[in-house]
Structures are given as C-alpha cells and as structure tokens.
Structure 1
C-alpha cells in the first residue's frame, strides 16, 4: 500500500520545482502585481510561520473575506497545508448570515480586503465574532478601522522564514470550508478534507474534467470565496499553469484587457459575467485570440451565448454543473468523439446540457415514486450523487443531514433528465419547477427561450399562485435599452408558443430594470416571488383550451 496521503501540498511542491518561473498575475488596487511559483512557495512558507506565531493551531479555522488576488491565493495553500482549515466567506451575504457563519465555524483569524472592512466592522462587535482573535487586512496598509487587533498582510508575514517544516497530514484532515448561500434558511456549512480537494483536483485535470496543462493561462472570474473558485487555484497549480487573478469587482473592460495582455486561455464564471463581456465587445475592440475555453456554471447558459462565443470569437463554451456540496464540479458537457461529425445544431443541443458525470462520481435520478428514472431524455426526477469529493453531512446541522442525505447519496434538489448518451440536463431546481394543472413546466427552459431573443438582456420565470391551475408562469424581463416593450412582449410570447405547448407560455411578461441576484450571482427568484406573490397577475389569463388537463 502507498504511504503518502492524498493532500494538497505536493501540488505546490511540484509546481515550484518544475515550473518555478511560471507567473502568478494579480490585478489589485495598486495595479498589476506578478511573481512566480518559486516566489509564491516562499511566500506560502512565510504565511505558515506567521500563522504559527499568531497562535493558530492544527484544526483551527482561518476565515477570508476577500476578492480574487494573489494574497487570497496564498491562503489557499498556506492555511490547509499548515493543518488549519480555510473558511472562505462570501462578502455579498447579508450581515446576519456573516455573523451566523463566523459563530458557527468559530473562526480564529480573519483575513479581509480593505474594500470589505465596513462589512466586517458592521458585525465585529457582535458576540458572534467573539472567536476571532486577529484581523489581517490584505495588502500593506490598514485603513482607519475599529477592528482590533488588526494588522496588514505584509506586516503579518514580514520577517518570517520562507522555509516551513510542513506537517504530514492525514487524508481526512479538514482543509476547507464553505457555506451554502442560505436562500431558504440559515447557510449550511460544508467541510472539505484534504483528500476531497485532492480528488477533485485530479478529476478536473482529466480530459473529461477541465483538462488543464502547463501551457494554460487560467483566470478564475468565479469568486474565490465561492467553493474555492470551482477548484481552479488548486487545479491550475497542479498543472503548473499560469494564474491570472482579476481582483475586486472586475468590469468587462478589465476582463478583456487581462485576456488580451496576459494571454488567458481558460476562464470561468456565471452566465451574467459572459453576457456582460459580449455586450462590451459589441461596442469595443479587444483581442481574444488567446482565449480557447470558457466554463459556465452556476446557472444555465443560453444557447445564443454559446453560439456567439463560438461563431464570433472561436471560443469553446463548456457547460458545467456542481454544488457547494460537490466541491463543486460534478458534470462537464464535453462532446463524445463520435459526435465530432454531427451538424452544428445537434452539437449545440448536447453542449447546452450540463453534461457528463465527472470520472469518480456516480449519480442516479429518482422519481416521485422513489424509483429510478430511465435515461431517455424525457422522464425526470431529482438527481442523487455520491463520490469521494461529495460531502456526506453538513457541519453541525443534523436536521439538514436527515433531509438532504439518503445513506451515502446527496439529494441535490436539482430536477434533471438524462438522455440515452448519459448527458444530464437540469430541468429545474426542485423548488423552482412550476406545477400547473398537475403538469410540470420548466422555468429554466422558458428562461433560455426568452434570453435567446435579441432584445432581451436578462429574463427569469417564476410560478405565481393560481386559484384553478395551482401555479402559472410569469416572466420577468430586462429589455435591451430602446426596445419597444409592447412589441417585445408579443414577440417573446409568440416564439414560446411556437416552440412549446401553449399552456407553457407565461401568462404575463413583467418588465423590470434588473433581475435580482443571489450572493453568488444566480437569479434570486425568492425576491420576485415575495414581491409578486399576487394571483391578479395571472387570474383568467389562461384560455380553457390552452391549459393542461386537471
């Protein structure tokens, strides 16, 4: 039997030894900063020694409230390789959620960006943060603040030895922690062990995963506070690839400039990021010739987005699916080799799905009757998943564990259908699928159809209570500036009625300035449900012959 545990540190050791001069580039408030893996390894050693000097013990939790930059990246290896647990906190969460998360995790040290200090100041006096013994502001200065005790990151690591005697850690040593966004209650903590992150990293390196190698230049736009930036900082390091971190709140112009100037080959983020980049490119010139692939996750990408990147910029868009609970990559929509000769429409139909299960994982689809649903592309049910980087319990939440797990299976809450080739397609979240007259309507399919319209910037669909039909769909649409709303309403409804059963068509189209978003950039339908929980939107709107059978 092998004598070496499956841990993160060997990934850094390899990168520093084999790719010592490969760059790590970071956009910060001070401008672009860059160093290489050799320098990064030394800095991580300094950080580990600083953690020891600060009294951090093995098993303690160290929190970050930070954007995507090199200081944050240093904690990614420095904290877990030290034997502590890196707890990334989403700064976009409500204050009371941040309080709950820090209290629940009992964080001992907290790294925070200068631009986010007010977020922590707002809750710092709460008893919920009594576990925090030290605040460290990322950078080389501390703005005026009531945080105490506080120092800046450069002072925190300065003077410490660049060599550190790394401990031999076991596979099951907790290495990371992330909380779900808590849109339906308190956030739930998910712990990642060393072996979970190791296994996830190895799987994403494969051709069936994200397929990184040392020639890649990888820019995670997905926030580093959100499920470890989908694991890319670890995978890029394991591959020996160049890192590019876009810094705080990058605009489309920032992303285009980084792609052009740093030669980015691979990037990833939620659909709204890439919709914004496409809009920017309509009005501005940018050289995207280095860019080969974009991974889109978080929510489904409209086919129009996939086609635009393909046809106008020769960039392959990969759909992926995952969850906080799955570390997060679960599926990636690669075409099978036998599909290379298919016509473009058939290929796009496959690529628009969430894809094939990552090697190492298993899943099944469970119907309302508790039985497994066949892979026929039509029947659907809830997706259950298990594997070496899928959590089997939430942190200190026994009631959630009882509801969300069945033995070693995680009940994802995603309603899916699987075709004969094994491609998973998310039909809806279990809480978002619309049941009208006893029949199901996929809000995701309707959203994709709406956003395929040239004059629709964003769109989402929610179910509104209906006295007769139980629920009816209502579309919330952000029109492109200057669009005639009456014509757009008629146009989108007509196109949906051509493609779907008439009773699928939204009963009303409500025009709004912006679709509300969760702290992770997904559409927040809960806000719209609360604001528009009004039967008058849909009463009497459905013709008798257009509704499903009761």
Structure 2
C-alpha cells in the first residue's frame, strides 16, 4: 500500500537539518549553534511539552522576542499536532488577554520581560495549566511557575518522535491587530504552511527582483516580529534553503547595526517604519554593502526607497495580510521588463506587484467584475491561494464577509496596469470620499515622501460640511528644516499640473508633528489620527 504522504512541518524540519546540518543560527551576541543542534533540541522540547500534557489540539501560547527559541517552537509545537499561538506582545493588555482567552491557551511559554504582564493576567486565564519561563540568564523570581525552558529541555527523558496525522490539522493561530474592533483569530494548517514556504522559496530564488537570492552565503535576519504572521514565514523558507539565521531579540537600533556588520547580514524584511528608523540612524556618508530588505505591512514610499538605496540598502515591496499567511504579491520584474532604466526599476520596486506562484489576485468593482487594466480605475483586491485562512476562529459572520463570492476580500483598494502590476491606493476604510470622488491617501503620502524636507507623512480624511470629507496631511519634517503648509501645497500642485494627481486631491490643510502614532506592528495608526484631527 502506498504511503499517504501528508504535507507536515516535521518534513520541513528534516529537510533543512539534512541539507545544512552545520549551518549557523545566531541569537544576538549571546548564543550560536547549528541546524543539527536545533534539530535535536526541537525533539527534546516536544518530549518536555508532552510531559506537561501537551497533545494533539492543545493550544500553546508563546510570548517572546525574535530568538532561536521561537524557531524551535515553530517546529516542535505544530509537529506534535498541537497549535502554536503566536501572541502579539505589542497589543494592549486588554486585547492580549482577550486573544489568550479566545484561543483557550493551556500552556504558555513566556520570556522574562513579559512575566509582570502575565502575573497581572494569570487569574483571568482559566484555561492555562502551565507557564514556562524563557530567559537568557538566570530564572527570575515569579509566582507564576518554577518551570524554565532550558531546564525542561535538559531534563526531557527521551527524544520525541513526531507522529503522522492529516495535513489539514491546525498548526498555528494568531490574531489580527484589531484596528477595527476586537482582534480576530486566523489559523493555518500544516498543508497551508508547507505550500506557502515552498512557493516563497520559488519566488525568492527564481523570480527576478533586486532581492533575488543568488548568493551561496546569504545571511538572514528578520526585522518583522516572529509573532506577526509567522514572521512572514521567511525563517522557514531560509531553513529550507540552508542559509545562516541571525535573531536580534528585542529590536534595538544599535544591536541591529552591530549584527548586520559582525554577522554579515545580507537579507532582512520589515515594515517601512523600521527601515525609516535604520536609515535615519545611519551616520552621514556610511553605506552598507548591498543589504536586501523586503518591505511589507504598509506601502513602501518611493522617497524612502531612494534614501535607502543611497545607503546601500536594496528594497522591494511585497504584500500580504494576517489572513493570507501572508504572501500574496511582490514587485518582481517580469523577464521582458529587465532592461528598464534604473529610474523605472525604482518606481516598479515600490508597487504592490504581481502574484506569488499559485496566487490569483484580481482588482474588482462592487459587482465582482474586473476593473480596466489602465492603472486608473480603482477596485478591491480579491484573492485565492492554497494557503489562505479558511475562517476567522469562532466567527461565522466575519468569515462570510471575508469569503463573499468565493474570493477572499482584502479590503484594499487598488489599480492594475496593462502589465498586470497592482498598486494599492488605499484601505477601503482609509480612502477619502470627497464631493463624490475617491482620493487616495497613499498616493499623496508617496508624493510627499519624495520631498527632501519630509521625513514621514500621513494623509487622512477629515469631515467637511460642503464636500463630506477633505484630505488632511500630517507631516513629520526632516530634523532642522523649515517647512510651511503653502510650500507643500505648491509642491503637490506641481504633480497636479503634470497629471499625476487631480487638483481636487491636493489638501488645503497641513499639520506638523514630531512623530506619527504607530500600531503594534509598526504601521501608521490612521484611526488615532482621524480621532485626533476630526
């Protein structure tokens, strides 16, 4: 009888360990070991968790910065048939508590920084049976538990043998950031994770882009939290490809730069605000030797891409969502476009892009017919792929909205050009409806980012008696520069005269601030801005 091969994360673990057993994994300037060491520890961790009562279907929560321990959890917990709940440690305590209660977590692995928070919430977490403390040094004093991660692994009585089960078994659970109401639970099966990782490898190594992995000695460091949609699952792709991993722990600019230089980091991924922080903190005249940084989570402004390029950082935009595992599109270069000028390639690199392998992406009107591929008509992006979440956990009503018409609705408004490249122009909830016309806040933000006096820009719709809404630009100027509202209005009017935007889109009002509010995953928080400037 033929073996019924299921797409399970245990096979991914075996593949990387067999291909690159001596490859390094580094954690800050504290710890380094090999793929083979991780492989052994993953089996020990599973054995230790089994002794705590973890079995198929058990929800195991992890509250941790980006570390080698997190990667161990990614393999050990789903490998047992249990569910890895990657807790968003940047949520408000109230929302974090809600996600853990909603998930019905039974075992919690918690890094020492988050022990005070867990001590406050513990009496409200009735389903939790065990807490295990993760630490880089000695066990802190806590009334939560006397169980410590390293001690559990050391004392594990035997190596665990990962079982076979259906590839449609739930493997991971995470929660949307709750910018609209309570966070919603999104979950992924083993099959979805494996297919997503394989197609990600094809995209990163095969499809043409400024970030294409062509070197034999690429060094990878995530700058997107591993709790956020599996760190885009790039750690798993890099494991399959046998590249060196560097984990920075808590994100601190000095530690990040130190690791990039000492460990020779060549590939990372982050949201635009992290890239902005890095570029702003680099000394004048300092240049990196071709660091590749994939940008997602929010639109990559062209001005920021150009400033990064001047510092030796190659960037490319990609697009996905918590509900989509997350990869959907990237600004890959179609083969017949490879001879474009450098100027044209920079403009292409900040587009939302074309679909990853096996992804179908459309831009549709309200009646689900496709918009014209003219780069002008706006519609909503709807998608299909083999790794999208099937439903929101315990939420049938929101699931029906998500999957209306058999396509996953992203809530992102976009245009598509004749080459099939998609460009997001706004979130459905952020698009500004003024006098019956739609105004794209992202287009205005991108143009403002190209002004050398502008460090960051956000545009939101504010109530207007006559027109319903008008755009308001909130600006963080570059340090030490003088900037006026009229100067910016005239600057945008030049783009209106060139036909890039309409004169109607140019804001009349501009507000100057020291910083913009950010969400728990580093995106500009427009909900806060709308409330503040209503």
TM-score, normalised by the number of residues in structure 2? 0.94
Counterpart Cα distance in 2 of 1:318 and 1:282: 23
Pick from 238, 241, 244 the counterpart of residue 243 of structure 2. 241
The alignment partner of 2:394 has SS state of coil
- Residues 22 and 203 of structure 1: is their aligned pair in 2 closer, same or farther, counting only changes over 3 Å? same
Distance 2:17 2:331 in 1: 32
Matches within 5 A, 1:315-394: 315-394=313-392
**Residue 7 of structure 2 aligns to a residue in which SS?**
coil
**Helix, strand or coil for the counterpart of 2:43?**
helix
The answer as to whether partners of 1:208 and 1:359 remain within 8 angstroms in 2 is no
Q: Does residue 414 of structure 2 align to residue 416 of structure 1?
A: yes
Is 41-50 or 201-210 further displaced after alignment? Answer: 201-210
Is the Cα–Cα contact under 8 Å of residues 223 and 251 in structure 2 kept in the other structure?
Answer: no
1:428-507 equivalence runs, <5 A? 428-486=426-484, 489-499=485-495, 500-507=501-508
| Among candidates 19, 41, 44, match of residue 43 of structure 1 | 41
User: Is 1:254 aligned to 2:255, yes or no?
Assistant: yes
- Give the superposition deviation at 1:183: 1.0
Structure 1 position 116, deviation (Å): 1.8
1:198 and 2:194 are equivalent in the alignment: yes
Deviation at 1:340, TM superposition (A): 2.0
Q: CA deviation at 1:402?
A: 2.0
**Does structure 1 conserve the Cα–Cα contact (< 8 Å) formed by 2:453 and 2:483?**
no
Partner Cα separation in structure 2 for residue 79 and residue 283 of structure 1: 45
Equivalent residues of 1:218, 1:265 under 8 A apart = yes
- Quote the Cα distance in structure 2 between the aligned partners of 1:161 and 1:17: 24
Task: Report the equivalent of 1:142.
Answer: 139
Contact preservation (8 Å) 2:23, 2:244: yes
Alpha-carbon RMSD across the aligned residues, in angstroms, is: 1.8
Per-residue CA deviation, residues 240-295 of structure 1 (Å, 9 max, x unaligned), is 111111111221x2222211111112100001111111112234746x32x44210
Shift of 1:169: 2.4
**Separation of aligned partners in 2, 1:357 and 1:522:** 23
What corresponds to 1:17 in structure 2?
A: 18
The secondary structure found in structure 1 opposite 2:382 is strand
Distance 1:57 1:312 in 2: 49
Which residue number in structure 1 is paired with residue 230 of structure 2? 228
Q: Distance in 1 between matches of 2:86 and 2:33?
A: 24
- Matched pairs, number: 521
Distance 1:285 1:138 in 2: 37
TM-superposition CA deviations, 1:208-246 (whole Å, max 9, x none): 397557632111110001001000111111111111111
Partner deviation per Cα, 1:134-184 (whole Å, 9 max, x = no partner) = 11111253323332x342211222221563211012110111111101111
Q: Distance in 2 between matches of 1:144 and 1:469?
A: 60
Q: CA contact under 8 A between 1:179 and 1:188: conserved in structure 2?
A: yes
Q: Which stretch of the first structure deviates more once superposed, 219-228 or 2-11? A: 2-11
Aligned equivalent of 1:297: 296
**5+ long unaligned stretches in structure 1:** 534-550
* C-alpha separation in 1, matches of 2:89 and 2:14: 31
> Quick check: 1:171 aligned with 2:163?
no
- Cα displacement string for residues 421-450 of structure 1 (whole angstroms, at most 9, x for unaligned residues): 111110100000001110111001111111
TM-score by length of 1: 0.91
Q: 1:224 to 1:243 in 2, by over 3 A?
A: same
* Equivalent residue number for residue 523 of structure 1: 524
1:76-225 pair list within 5 angstroms: 76-126=74-124, 129-139=125-135, 140-147=137-144, 149-161=145-157, 163-206=159-202, 207-208=206-207, 212=213, 215-225=217-227
